[in-house]
Structure 1
Amino acid sequence: MGIFANISTTSDDRSARLAGIALMLVGVCTFSFGDALGKFIVATYSVGQLMLLRACAALVLLAPSMWRRRAEFRRLTRPWLQLLRVVLSTLEIAAFFLATVYLPLADVVTYYLATPIFVTALSAMVLREQVGWRRWSAILIGFGGVLIALNPSVQTVTWPAMIALAGSMAFSGLMLITRSLRATPDIVLASAQFLGTLLFGIVVAPLGWVTPTWGHLGFFFAAGAISVCALLCVNRSLKLAPASTVAPYQYSLILWAVMFGYAVFGDVPHLATALGAAIIIGAGLYIFLRERELGRGEAAVSPPG
């Protein structure tokens, strides 16, 4: 009975990891759409105003769930780590949209695609997660594909680029902390992040306030709704699977960046983009297949309990 129990447990763990990968892919796609919408908005409105109205819309959508599960907000574990997570989340969002004011979306995304490397290295050192040399190699190859595909411009040495890089590092810390707080309910994690951006927006939005039209208010509401869906997917992903497993799938951002860049901003992809995308997809598929292989192997050799 012990052997079958161990096989069942390992199979469940593998299923959770695969579900985490799928949710990360969905979350990244949704976030990419929201990023393109946000860049469109900050061409007219300030970053603080975007964060304020985006958070208002998100919290309105989350309010019924927050009310039903209000008791869980009073049972928070590790409150200082929860607070640090909110601060990192707020800084990361502000840095991303501020950088898109001055840089092409593809250049900003380039820095954020370095996040899996930061997360993998830190997860091995901080969270003690097992990361083998094969996954390390695939992650590095995937990042090489990102550089080939995006071909960062000469603007990548400017201060807006440094802001984007700082945002990617904050995002890496956010992902690791989310993994550490996986016992915290999803609704608490998501609403805390939006409350953080709301407070930030209240402070900075008046500095560059532009009264939005009724039509543009729809854009702000859409940005909030999109961010809620994306955030819930990513948070659930990080609770189902190790950060080092799901983080590499952020490389799919390049595919969406190309699509939205062409559709919204008229950016035409080059041959290098197609080559880089092929390398990224290949690296991601290898990681996925390696994860499935490891799951099967663990089930086969599990010792009796």
Structure 2
Amino acid sequence: MLASAFLFSAHLLILKHASLSLHPFQIAFLRNTMASVVLGGMLLWVGPSMIRNGRTFALRCVLGTGAGLALYYANANAPLAAVTLIFHARIFLLLALASLVLKEQISPPRWLAIIMGFTGIIIVIMPDRTGGWSMGLLAATAAAALSSGSQIAVKALTRDNAPLTIAAFSQLAITALSAPMAIPVWLAPPLPAMALIGTAAAFSAMAALAAAKAFSLTQASVVSPMDNTGIVLSAALGFVFFGEVPGPGIVIGAILVLGGAFYVAQKT
């Protein structure tokens, strides 16, 4: 799981560097296209099957598209540590949505942990004395919310569809949906930027595989807290490569989010 956390943080760092030459919406489209080629090829190899429950699938694709666009916009316009922290906090949104949408039972102590996590997010995104609201941090919050909704939809889809079918068809649809946002800001991508995006896409895939492997080897209560090391790694990478120093709001918010996430993991 430590490898997964590092790879995910490194993937955001690489895309943040790519955003110096390309708009984040174009980066999202290019990254989605590369993922579509890989997943589409895998689906053809094992044999495609039709998606069942089209409405839920459509909802998952719309939410997934919005989450990706918002995340990469936030990554280009906000500190790396803050973006990673807010995106990690989607665990609290997932728990709340699981209770409201899937009717899963959430204990009162877990609701307190959820409130703690939400409070941490609010502290991070609140404007400081030097300026107004940060569009980058608001975008990161939107990405976390949309990603949570998307994951709830994926969970519903797994009742009638194979994981690879969901992943491949979703990625193809998300690529198509992200294209209209990329067209107005399109620039001829330089080869170095394409190499960065390709590397980031590979890192993201390896992070997902490493996380899946970690969960298969030990209990979630042991693995999940390790995933939060990505927040510390992102803070270190942001400082080394971009000179970003986390402010008091990010530090306090991180304490609340990490505390709530640790409690949830221990009760899993």
TM-score by length of 1: 0.69
1:167 is aligned to 143
Q: CA deviation at 1:143?
A: 5.0
1:157 paired residue number: 133
8 A Cα contact 2:80 2:235, kept in partner: no
Post-superposition offset of 1:271: 7.7
| 2:172 is the alignment partner of 1:195 | yes
AA of the residue aligned to 2:80: L
The match for 1:228 among 192, 205, 210 is: 205
Matched residues, number: 260
SS in 2 for 1:87: helix
Distance 2:57 2:202 in 1: 23
Return the alpha-carbon distance in structure 1 between the equivalents of residues 30 and 122 of structure 2. Answer: 34
Shift of 1:29: 4.7
Partner residue of 1:6? none
CA distance in 2, matches of 1:48, 1:169: 18
**How is 1:255-274 mapped onto 2 (pairs within 5 angstroms)?**
255-269=232-246
Distance 1:118 1:274 in 2: 20
Matched to 1:266, the amino acid is G
Which residues of 2 match residues 207-246 of structure 1 at below 5 A? 207-231=184-208
For 1:65, the equivalent position in structure 2 comes to 42
Q: Contact between 2:235 and 2:246, CA under 8 Å: does it hold in 1?
A: yes
- Please, which of 64, 67, 79 is the counterpart of residue 54 of structure 2? 79
Contact 2:116 2:257 in 1 (8 A): yes
- For residue 162 of structure 2, the aligned residue among 181, 185, 193 is 185
Contact 1:88-1:173 within 8 A present in 2 as well: yes
1:122 aligned residue: 97
CA distance in 1 between partners of 2:212 and 2:173 (Å): 16
Deviates more, 1:81-90 or 1:198-207: 198-207
Cα distance change on mapping 1:204 and 1:145 into 2, 3 Å? closer
Gaps of 5+ in 2: 216-222
Q: Give the Cα separation in 2 of the matches to 1:228 and 1:37.
A: 14
Superposed CA RMSD in Å reads 3.7
Say if 1:83 and 1:222 are closer, same or farther in 2 by CA, change over 3 A.
same
- Cα distance in 2 for partners of 1:146, 1:159 equals 14
Change (3 A) 1:47 1:193: farther
CA distance in 2, matches of 1:125, 1:156: 32
Retained in 2: the 8 A contact 1:190–1:231? Answer: no
Return the alpha-carbon distance in structure 2 between the equivalents of residues 47 and 206 of structure 1.
12
Report deviation, 1:90.
Answer: 0.6
Aligned-pair identity in percent equals 24
Preserved CA contact (<8 Å) 1:57 1:221: yes
2:65 partner SS: helix
* 1-structure distance, mates of 2:95, 2:209: 22
